[in-house]
Structure 1
Amino acid sequence: MLMASVVLILVKAETKWLGTKKTFEWFSTAGRTVKTGLIVTSVVSAWTWAATLLQSSTVAYQYGVSGPFWYAAGASIQVVLFAILAIELKRKSPMSHTFPEMINARFGKSSHKVFLSFAFLTNIIVTAMLVLGGAAVVNALTGIDVYIAAFLIPIGVIAYTLFGGLKATFLAEYFNTAFIFVVVLIFVSAIYFTNEDIGGISGMFEKLSEAAVMSPVEGNAAGSFLTLASVGALIFGIINIVGNFGTVFVDQSYWQRAIASRPRSVVPGFLVGGLAWFAIPFALATTLGLAAVAVNLQLTPLEISSGLVAPLAAAHILGDVGAILMLTVLFTAVTAAGSAQLISVSSLITYDVFRTYIKPSSTGRQLMRISRYSILGFGLGMGALASVLFMSGISLQYVYLAMGVLIGSAVAPISLAILWKDTNRYVATAAAIIGLGCGVTVWLGYAFSTSGEISLASTSDMFALLAGNLTSILTSLAITVIGSLFRPENFNFSKLKHEIFVVDETIRKRLEKETNEESLRKASGFSKRYGLTLTLILVVVWPIPLFFSNYVFTSTVYHVWIWVAILWAVAAASMIWILPIIQSRDGISHVLKNIAKSSKPRKTDKYGHDLSDNEIAQKILVAVDGSVSSMRALNYVNYVMKESSNIKVYLTHIIEWSDDDESMDEEMTIKMEQDGRKMLLGISLPSKLKNYERIVKLGDPAKKISELASSLNVDTIVMGRRGLSDTDSDLGHVTSKLLSLSSKPIVLV
């Protein structure tokens, strides 16, 4: 709840002092202005699941140094490669809000429904893993009932996501990611440099060498924990790669980050984000997972499958401090990634369900309301879903290894929809469905053929999962490519720019200004060169020679390996901590100046008039609606200025509109405000009036005038006794209401 409070304060500061207009477009896309630093932290945070902290240490415990490597490499390349899709989305469909929205414009409604279903399935799977892992650890370290823990976890996430939208998620993710790296470096330092039981890097090497003699790892070279020549780790790595393509390319969370970013920030954001994330499982698991082996921590199969290696190792080696740190960092990761999932589901429901199929003419207010209902409903549903899975005996590890079978078939059709103009809509849609069917059939068929039954135990077999994962993604890819070659569609991507639009005029104009085809084309080429190069390095050039050579680390090589992990984590942490602050320094400076200004004691003259703003003797708010009496009010201010020239006047026009009227959208709001400014610009101001400000607002006039008078700290409100619509009464309805609302002196003319 503390994090929720901090984030909501930051969002409030942005809207109050940086002039951010909180429309639904801003709520769901963060205004599409997010810079590289926040994109990096957001990508790292969204990709740091409970499994990142738990499953990576589990495979370290099972396979040695190869486990953390294959977890990190097998799950970072998807984020790196997603940079290619992200920049292509900016080029070809810059106004999109979700990837199914792009699919709808490209393939039509039938295909849209299919891929929207895959998107929801991905969110459900990811959310299930978040809550399963988080609740299991809370239960193991605190004793809180696992079902209660499953419902407690979403509460803080719902709070700041519900009111702050995507920008609140980005801000929370910065703090969460910064804290995660702090904890990772604490564990690394404590275990490798201060813990006497481990004995430093050399002591860890000796203990792992001894562990291989006592309990050799089946399928590892020489049974060693100190080798990348591990059959089990390689199989896990392939499953990891296939499954995580689905949970990135089919997860709206990552498309939403691409949409929210500035065009020039999207490629470096995902490339650097993928490499920075690599450091978390690589450094943490080679610390906690291997430490569990080194101290001969005995765990049950249930504890291993539930992902409890890391928390139990932390508690065993570092005592209560280790348990508290592990519990805190896990809760941080779960809430941050959970927030990303809430916003993702919210966007899918509002744009792809409500606006597409229920009410295409829906206003911004209606979409905002549906979005918040979605966040609240799915957030509470997170706990119910985890409870059902717990009762079914389904563990974090099981879901993690099976996810590629269920969503991998959608990867190729979605990717090629934005990359290849010849992708055939009917073939791509059929490929996703057929790939899913084939993947599940092979998975269950293999499990039945080897054990004679289909159960949790038989379907947990690594070879069955490997066969199902590969079948799902490769079958879909083959069908999509071959079918599209036979029946190419030759789609004109410029149609996406015309069929998908942004209502918010301010954001739309900025997008049009920033979307430069030449720069985006160069960024696209850059993303392909470096994305593919980094992928080859991480999953081929680095590990494959070490696998086929059956090389077992010497003490020197192990020292180098650990120092690479440590330095990588330090570099990533430095980037995460510093870059967002540097890129936001102007906004931070502006907010701090305003806070300092508002906290200064008021300087007044002998009459009590405020002198804090450039020695202003008096601040006057003049309410103008175009009526004769409001013009007389302005003339009255001219008369007052004869006594003093040090007066600031706020010329205010309130356009009356009910906050409950849902027919108003962003475009209409902007149009009405423009008309209001034109009216104010048409008023002839007194020649002596040099210090003035024009303000236009929509809403209840009396309420808005009262709020403005308080926030601007004016000395006097001047207005006519009656407005345009008040002809019979002595006092107009706005005047009467304002007299009861405001404590400021009011002059009626």
Structure 2
Amino acid sequence: MSGYPEGSREFTRLLPPGSGYGVVVGVGAFFALAMIFLTRLQGRFTRLDPNSATEFATASRAVKPGLICCGIVSAWTWSATLLQSSAATYSSGLSSAWWYGVGGTIQICFFAACAAKIKQNANGAVTFPEIARARYGWPCHLLFTSFFLICAHIVTGSLVLGASATINALTGANIIATNFLLPLGIAIYVVAGGLRATFIVDFLHTVILFVILYIFLFSIYGTSNVVGSPGAMYDLLKKAADLAPVAGNAAGSYMTMKSNGGILFGGCTIASGFAGVALDQGYWQRAIASRPESTTRAYMLGGFSWFSIPWAFGTVMGLGARAMITNPAFPTYPYALSAQQVSAGLVAPAAAATIMGKGGAIAILLIVFMAATSACSAELIAVSSLVTRDIIGAYRPLSGHKMVLYSHIVIVLYSIWAGAWSTILHYASIDLGWLFYVQGVLLTPAVIPVALTVMSKRQSKHAAFFGTLFGTTCGLIGWMLGCKKVYGEINITNLALPYAAISGAAPGLVMSGLASFIITAIKPDNYDWNSTRAISLSDSDVPSEGKIERSSASTSELDDEKKDEPTATVASAVLDAQDPGVVAPALEEAAKDPALDRAVLQKVFVRSLWISGIFALVIAIIIPIPMFASRYVFSRRFFEVWVAFSIVWVLLAGGFCIILPIFESRKEIFILAKSALRVMTGRTVKEDVVA
């Protein structure tokens, strides 16, 4: 029973609509112009050509670990990371902020192992579906391409809807207009600079994100008259628990890991996170873009750094909003936020507006805008690669230059569609919270087959294909049954509630893996990786140069002849049957690539599995479960230590993401600055720069 007054009111807007449009259009235009300038600088003074397919889609596979780490943090910091973590913490207490961090971090760390395998066995690929096509053939290729595009639509909807709802709540800017303006502004600089542009803008976005996060932390925990210290926050939260105790929490407290709602949220987050990493082409593209010797290190750093963001931000903003409901400056005072406002992600804006007034509203506006644009830029590149490589280019050979042209067209068209898609979701009353919970249901069935495609030589095409379909069927059935049994009625609202979501996500993940393992055990493959290692991306005007193309006639005949043999045998036979002038150079190049020491990469793979496993064990089991089982309610001192650790972790993460990229690229920055100076003196000699 809540002790707050019954009722609700509209969110108090502290800024005029012009502020919202100014951020979306003005800041977006600034980044677009800055990126166009940097791209022209790169094209003129380095040997990196933004118009080449390799540079546009993979950043020449030479991005250093600091920038990859920064890109991972930026791409995984969606609007939902900031808004959903604080909303769940507001509702269920501090355990939700921790579980959100767990649910997104362990996937990134385990993906580090996948990244080592990508470099080891498919270093020339651009997208995951083309790896599946080279290994399994067209049925799996079509299936996984569909899953990856569904993931892109869910991610895009989450990013745009979350940002638009926040901008509307703070400024009154029209949601529909914001839905269209946001992705269009991003498309300009992505078209100009390709994947490297997203990395550079990721860095700028991440710097701003951490600076604003530090402002919130030190304002709420330090300088604010409303809260002012972790101890004062503790006292306010004790009063909040007396007014509105949390059902399922130990003593109804917001300061305990014994939270039924929190651990349920954790399960949904882990399922959603696995789907969001394994099936997001943006992560595969970053792994492909990185240097082979540093791929895994970059992903590990990215995972460790990202964990601090939902933990620190969710804790300070979610608990801060709960603690300040009774403050007259609270945007819905004297009422608590309504369920619709919480689901729309307005908890963090409420805390920011209460603690800092208009300054807080501007800060949250910027941080949500940065999160949305950074991750959305990665999705634009990801979708353009999927459409160009796996829809247009898969069955119609394209030259490298045509791939860049089609990528530009797809980016512009998808940015327009992103606005239309977000508008459709808005009118269907589907918001950020709905997409967050449903993501795990729809996508988890493909997670294990996708991971095993690059990590195991034993998984056959039948295991990958039918395992995914079986898991999807089980997940959808579990989703509907869980919704009906727990909530009594199947409708749009109930389908995105936690118990319904976990009822679909868990069987989808488990049953797809089980089916894949059983089929593999019955008839295992013995794949030799030759066809995936032969994939390459051409920058020439000759269509499909250096790229494997399956001849439909010969492939069909060979499949008939070899249907009882392992997939690897069929793939090898297809390679042998193809024009040696096409396949042989790719195989020879892959074999001679000095950067690919596969023995070293195998050791990196094993080491990353150990590190990921230990880290996952610590943050998912060793720390939270004993506190959950013991029903421990934080003391004032323990809460202060908990907050202090979150602040220290986020400070270290900011150091990794801000200082490391600059330090690693100090030589290249100097060369570019020196080259720009040469323009003024009439000297324009090119130099090799790999930043």
Q: TM-score, normalised by structure 2?
A: 0.85
Q: Which amino acid in the other structure matches residue 604 of structure 2?
A: A
In structure 1, distance between residues paired with 2:194 and 2:289:
12
Instruction: Give the superposition deviation at 1:496.
Output: 1.8
Match in the other structure for 1:11: 39
Query: Are 2:425 and 2:431, in contact at CA under 8 Å, matched by a contact in 1?
Result: yes
**Pair 1:134–1:200, CA change in 2 (3 A):** same
Match in the other structure for 1:486: 522
In structure 2, distance between residues paired with 1:153 and 1:56:
22
Query: Are 1:58 and 1:309, in contact at CA under 8 Å, matched by a contact in 2?
Result: yes
Q: Which amino acid in the other structure matches residue 9 of structure 1?
A: F
Match in the other structure for 2:637: 556
Q: Secondary structure at 1:264's aligned position in 2? A: helix
Q: How do residues 362-377 of structure 1 correspond to structure 2 at under 5 angstroms?
A: 362-377=398-413
Q: Secondary structure at 2:292's aligned position in 1? A: coil
Instruction: Give the superposition deviation at 1:354.
Output: 1.1
Q: Which amino acid in the other structure matches residue 598 of structure 1?
A: V
Q: Which amino acid in the other structure matches residue 583 of structure 1?
A: E
Which of residues 627, 635, 647 is equivalent to 1:546? 627
Which of residues 655, 659, 667 is equivalent to 1:578? 659
Match in the other structure for 1:430: 466
Query: Are 2:114 and 2:454, in contact at CA under 8 Å, matched by a contact in 1?
Result: yes
Match in the other structure for 1:589: 670
Query: Are 2:108 and 2:303, in contact at CA under 8 Å, matched by a contact in 1?
Result: yes
Query: Are 2:219 and 2:228, in contact at CA under 8 Å, matched by a contact in 1?
Result: no
In structure 2, distance between residues paired with 1:404 and 1:53:
18
Q: How do residues 263-282 of structure 1 correspond to structure 2 at under 5 angstroms?
A: 263-282=292-311
Instruction: Give the superposition deviation at 1:289.
Output: 0.8
Q: How do residues 249-268 of structure 1 correspond to structure 2 at under 5 angstroms?
A: 249-268=278-297
Which of residues 548, 564, 569 is equivalent to 2:650? 569
Query: Are 2:112 and 2:300, in contact at CA under 8 Å, matched by a contact in 1?
Result: yes
Q: Secondary structure at 2:668's aligned position in 1? A: helix
Instruction: Give the superposition deviation at 1:450.
Output: 3.8
Query: Are 1:131 and 1:334, in contact at CA under 8 Å, matched by a contact in 2?
Result: yes
**Pair 1:301–1:251, CA change in 2 (3 A):** same
Query: Are 2:41 and 2:672, in contact at CA under 8 Å, matched by a contact in 1?
Result: yes
For the pair shown, which has the larger CA radius of gyration, 1 or 2?
1
Match in the other structure for 2:417: 381
**Runs of 4+ more than 4 Å apart:** 504-511
Query: Are 1:18 and 1:587, in contact at CA under 8 Å, matched by a contact in 2?
Result: no
Q: How do residues 76-91 of structure 1 correspond to structure 2 at under 5 angstroms?
A: 76-91=105-120
Instruction: Give the superposition deviation at 1:451.
Output: 4.1
Cα offsets for 1:303-341 (capped at 9, x unmatched)? 001011001221122100000000011111101100000
Q: Secondary structure at 1:513's aligned position in 2? A: coil
Match in the other structure for 1:41: 70
Which of residues 445, 453, 456 is equivalent to 2:481? 445
Q: Which amino acid in the other structure matches residue 153 of structure 2?
A: I
Q: How do residues 516-665 of structure 1 correspond to structure 2 at under 5 angstroms?
A: 516-600=597-681
User: 2:502 aligned with 1:502, yes or no?
Assistant: no
Higher mean alpha-carbon deviation, 335-344 vs 212-221, is at 212-221
Match in the other structure for 2:48: 20
**Pair 1:256–1:135, CA change in 2 (3 A):** same
In structure 1, distance between residues paired with 2:353 and 2:250:
31
In structure 2, distance between residues paired with 1:263 and 1:344:
20
Query: Are 1:242 and 1:408, in contact at CA under 8 Å, matched by a contact in 2?
Result: yes
Q: Secondary structure at 2:285's aligned position in 1? A: helix
Match in the other structure for 1:343: 381
Q: How do residues 304-319 of structure 1 correspond to structure 2 at under 5 angstroms?
A: 304-319=342-357
Cα offsets for 1:529-560 (capped at 9, x unmatched)? 11111111111111111110111111111111
Match in the other structure for 1:407: 443
Query: Are 1:412 and 1:473, in contact at CA under 8 Å, matched by a contact in 2?
Result: yes
Match in the other structure for 1:329: 367
Q: Secondary structure at 2:227's aligned position in 1? A: coil
Match in the other structure for 2:92: 63
Aligned length: 603
Q: How do residues 107-186 of structure 1 correspond to structure 2 at under 5 angstroms?
A: 107-186=136-215
Instruction: Give the superposition deviation at 1:452.
Output: 4.1
Instruction: Give the superposition deviation at 1:599.
Output: 3.0
Query: Are 2:184 and 2:415, in contact at CA under 8 Å, matched by a contact in 1?
Result: yes
Q: How do residues 213-228 of structure 1 correspond to structure 2 at under 5 angstroms?
A: 213-228=242-257
In structure 2, distance between residues paired with 1:103 and 1:28:
18
Query: Are 2:121 and 2:533, in contact at CA under 8 Å, matched by a contact in 1?
Result: yes
Match in the other structure for 1:731: none
What stretches of structure 1 of length at least 5 have no aligned partner?
A: 603-612, 614-649, 651-692, 696-749
Which of residues 433, 442, 456 is equivalent to 2:492? 456
Query: Are 1:18 and 1:590, in contact at CA under 8 Å, matched by a contact in 2?
Result: no
Cα offsets for 1:686-737 (capped at 9, x unmatched)? xxxxxxx999xxxxxxxxxxxxxxxxxxxxxxxxxxxxxxxxxxxxxxxxxx
In structure 2, distance between residues paired with 1:86 and 1:287:
33
Query: Are 2:53 and 2:537, in contact at CA under 8 Å, matched by a contact in 1?
Result: no
Which of residues 216, 240, 243 is equivalent to 2:269? 240
Match in the other structure for 2:30: 2
User: 2:239 aligned with 1:210, yes or no?
Assistant: yes
Query: Are 1:216 and 1:223, in contact at CA under 8 Å, matched by a contact in 2?
Result: yes
Query: Are 2:236 and 2:323, in contact at CA under 8 Å, matched by a contact in 1?
Result: yes
Cα offsets for 1:80-134 (capped at 9, x unmatched)? 1100101001001111111101000111111100010000000000001001101
In structure 1, distance between residues paired with 2:429 and 2:456:
42
In structure 1, distance between residues paired with 2:365 and 2:491:
32
Query: Are 2:462 and 2:519, in contact at CA under 8 Å, matched by a contact in 1?
Result: no
Match in the other structure for 1:93: 122
Query: Are 2:53 and 2:538, in contact at CA under 8 Å, matched by a contact in 1?
Result: no
Q: Which amino acid in the other structure matches residue 43 of structure 2?
A: T
**Pair 1:148–1:548, CA change in 2 (3 A):** same
Query: Are 2:64 and 2:294, in contact at CA under 8 Å, matched by a contact in 1?
Result: yes
User: 2:508 aligned with 1:472, yes or no?
Assistant: yes
Which of residues 345, 355, 361 is equivalent to 2:393? 355
Query: Are 2:486 and 2:499, in contact at CA under 8 Å, matched by a contact in 1?
Result: no
Cα offsets for 1:242-277 (capped at 9, x unmatched)? 111011001110000000000012101100101111
Q: Which amino acid in the other structure matches residue 47 of structure 2?
A: G
Which of residues 300, 303, 307 is equivalent to 2:338? 300
Identity %: 35
Match in the other structure for 2:221: 192
In structure 1, distance between residues paired with 2:228 and 2:613:
40
Cα offsets for 1:17-75 (capped at 9, x unmatched)? 12213311111100000000110000001101000110000011011110100011111
Instruction: Give the superposition deviation at 1:494.
Output: 2.9
What's the C-alpha RMSD, in Å, of the aligned pairs?
A: 1.9
**Pair 1:349–1:196, CA change in 2 (3 A):** same
In structure 1, distance between residues paired with 2:626 and 2:414:
46
Q: Which amino acid in the other structure matches residue 151 of structure 2?
A: T
Instruction: Give the superposition deviation at 1:504.
Output: 4.5
